[in-house]
Structure 1
Amino acid sequence: MLVLALMWGLSIPVTKLGLVTVPPLTLTAMRFAVAVPLLFLFTLGQPRLRLRALPHAAALGVLGIGVGQVAQAFGIAGTAASVGTIISATIPVFVVVFAARRLRQPVSGRQQLGLLAAFAGIALVAFGHGQDGGTILASTVSGAAWMLLSALAIAFYYVWSVELTEAYGTAPVAAWSTLFGFLALLPWAGWELWQVPIHITAQAVGVAVYLGVMVSVAGLFLWLHVLRTVPAPVAAGVQYLQPVFGIAAASLMFGDRLGLLFAAGVVLILGGLTIAVAGSRKAEEAVPHE
């Protein structure tokens, strides 16, 4: 669990390093160019997706990668690593809310309170960081909006993939949806290559390999292993540890300053996560972060 929280917690600070020389769409494409072949290796011996399931998998891939992961890359480019990390921690909150709506269950007062606290925390994080001038503040708010869109899209992806994963297993659904999302992303990444100067450095390649191997593939299967061997309420602790590691890494790698407003925002977001997810263990089990 500690290794998994560290792997996922480092994902946003590490992505920040890759974006130094490679723009968001291209870095995302590089990441999933690494992940797709590895995911299909894990489908060997697994049930195959039927033809009628492919449109569903394609839609999930476009949503999860074309919207969720691309928005995350743009968000990381426009925020400090610590800001992006804590906003991404809201994904489990949105999963709980979307799962309740998907099952046609009312969103409880506890879940509404958790969501409200998380949104208040996002506002404090966005406005409480980068107070050196209007330009920095504007870019931080824009980046926070991208990160929030990413959290919504990824949470939606997890909830709407449950039926397929129950029928065919996690590995085939993850592999096919990732493939479709990657294919949908390629034209946009190609366009970006023509528009933006790009320097493919060893650092950028290393970031893409880390994100593809450790976060998208190893992280997923390590999460499934944890769920099989550790009680779900204990396994859910990964969701709370991940932003702690991410913020600590951002502070060490980029010197992010953690002011009082930022700290208050972190407390509200993690508090909202605790309130919304408590008592919703089934939703927790379905939520790998990346």
Structure 2
Amino acid sequence: MSVEATRMGGLPGGLSARSVAAMLLLAVMWGLSIPVTKLGLETMPPLTLTALRFVVAVPLLFLLVVGRQRLPWRAFPSVAALGILGISVGQVAQSFGVQGTSASAGTIISATIPVFVVIFAAFRLKQAVTARQQVGLVAAFAGIALVAIGNGPEGAQAASTSLSGAVWLLLSAVAVAFYYVWSVELTDEFGTTTVAAWSTLVGFLAMLPFAAWEASHTPFHVTAQALWAGAYLGVAVTVAGLFLWLHLLRTVPARVAASVQYLQPVVGILAASLMFGDRLGLFFALGVLLILGGLGLAVATRQAPEMAVPHE
């Protein structure tokens, strides 16, 4: 490395120290999403916690939209449908899934979103799926099955993952992945921040009646822990994560930025172990290896879709 590169904070491969730090920070922020959701669900039901998250996120998103591109009326039906898919279905299903899984299992199953992105990009964006990617998809789904099964007494924590919880998380992964792929078309025409703000608002409004019904029929306590969880999910995961991701897409190649997806489950599993004492059995460990290996193969493509609106 040259003296000038060192002075400028440059690293081999054209990356700057600032870009690497941003990628690591984003991996931590998004990786903590499932464990923090698990904390919030200890005292608050799923729909109510999700509503709290977007009560925080929506005003912040619209503050960032001020002075930017306006959303034309002709775009509203598509953006509204995007919000219902990504927020009302994707994020609500994730909360129900996290409620029915261990934090570690939830983190790993949610990490399959890039796999579904590859599948949907093949159909909607006409991107070919290579033989390597097909092997990766099969490996990832086999890993999901192992994570869901657990490992008897040795995998006691993994055994707390119910089939229904795993199904909810898979539904969330499917909805969010299609949200990403569809958003590529909309954000190219109407702007990322504008589409993110309006789709989030519509998705939030669509789920409010159900959240209100749940809150009126389910006893719960509004604790500092639940409020902190909702604030973290709204500010760090939804809003700050979005703009940190956009910054990375502007400063490093999309394939490099996408490597954040590999780090998220690692952060999530470590956090779950520290926060909940998750003990990972043999089946769980094998499932993790299969999923991470499958993810690596599934996203290994020369032209991956640039997902302008991120997860988690």
For the aligned pair, the TM-score class normalised by the smaller chain equals over 0.9
2:240 is equivalent to residue 218 of structure 1: yes
**Aligned counterpart, 1:94:** 116
Flag the 1:138–1:256 CA change in 2: closer, same or farther, 3 A. closer
Q: Structure 1 130/176 Cα, relative in aligned 2: closer, same or farther at 3 Å?
A: farther
Amino acid at match of 2:150: G
Structure 2 vs 1, CA of residues 282 and 59 (structure 1 numbering), >3 Å: closer, same or farther? Answer: same
CA shift digits 1:113-171 (9 cap, x unpaired):
1111111000000002565899x958522111111110000001111111110011110
How far apart, CA to CA, are the structure 1 residues paired with 2:27 and 2:152? 27
Name the structure 1 match of 2:134: 112
Paired residues for 1:43-62 under 5 Å: 43-62=65-84
Tell me the TM-score normalised to structure 2 length: 0.88
Q: Give the equivalent residue in structure 1 for 2:3.
A: none
Maintained 8 Å contact 2:155/2:283:
no
After superposition, the Cα gap between the structure-2 partners of 1:206 and 1:255, relative to the gap in structure 1 and judged at 3 Å, is same
Q: Partners of 1:50 and 1:130 in 2: how far apart?
A: 55
In the superposition, the TM-score normalised over structure 1's length comes to: 0.95
Counterparts of 1:287 and 1:173 in 2: how far apart (Å)? 9
**Which segment drifts farther, 111-120 or 99-108?**
99-108
2:91 aligned to which of 66, 69, 72: 69
Secondary structure of 2:221's match?
coil
Stretches of structure 2 lacking an aligned partner (at least 5 in a row): 1-22
Q: Name the residue aligned to 2:187.
A: 165
Structure 1 distance, partners of 2:206, 2:134, is 34
Q: Tell me what 1:178 maps to.
A: 200
Corresponding letter in the other structure for 1:268: L
Aligned residue number for residue 14 of structure 2 = none
SS in 2 for 1:47: coil
C-alpha distance in 2 between matches for 1:161 and 1:8: 19
Paired residue for 1:18? Answer: 40
- Within the candidate set 236, 241, 257, 1:235 is matched to 257
Query: C-alpha separation between the residues in 2 aligned to 1:75 and 1:81?
Result: 10
Distance in structure 2 (CA, Å) of the matches to 1:130 and 1:18: 27
CA distance in 1, matches of 2:279, 2:152: 9
C-alpha displacement at 1:286, in angstroms?
A: 4.2
Distance 1:257 1:284, change over 3 A: farther
- Compared CA separation, residues 80 and 130, structure 1 to 2 (3 A): farther
Letter in 2 for 1:6: V
How far the C-alpha of 1:236 sits from its partner, in A, is 1.8
Q: CA deviation at 1:106?
A: 4.5
Q: Which residue in 1 is equivalent to 2:106?
A: 84
Whose Rg is larger? Answer: 2
Q: CA RMSD in A?
A: 1.8
**What is the alpha-carbon distance in structure 1 between the residues aligned to residue 276 and residue 93 of structure 2?**
21
In the TM superposition, 1:257-268 aligns within 5 A as: 257-268=279-290
Q: CA deviation at 1:61?
A: 0.7
Separation in 2, partners of 1:11, 1:79: 14
Alpha-carbon shift at residue 234 of structure 1 (Å): 2.1
Cα separation, 1, equivalents of 2:114 and 2:124: 15
Q: Following TM superposition, by how much is the alpha carbon of 1:104 offset from its aligned partner in structure 2, in angstroms?
A: 3.3
Count of residue correspondences: 289
Alpha-carbon distance between aligned partners in 2 of 1:17 and 1:106, rounded to the nearest angstrom: 40
Which deviates the most, 111-120 or 151-160?
111-120
Asked if the contact 2:32/2:271 (under 8 Å) is kept, the reply is: yes
Task: State the 1:84 CA deviation.
Answer: 0.3
1:37 aligned residue: 59
CA distance in 2, matches of 1:211, 1:119: 27
Q: Indicate conservation of the 8 Å contact 1:165/1:173, yes or no.
A: yes
Report the AA paired with residue 99 of structure 1: A
Q: Does the 8 A contact of 1:129 with 1:140 survive in 2?
A: no
Q: C-alpha displacement at 1:245, in angstroms?
A: 0.4
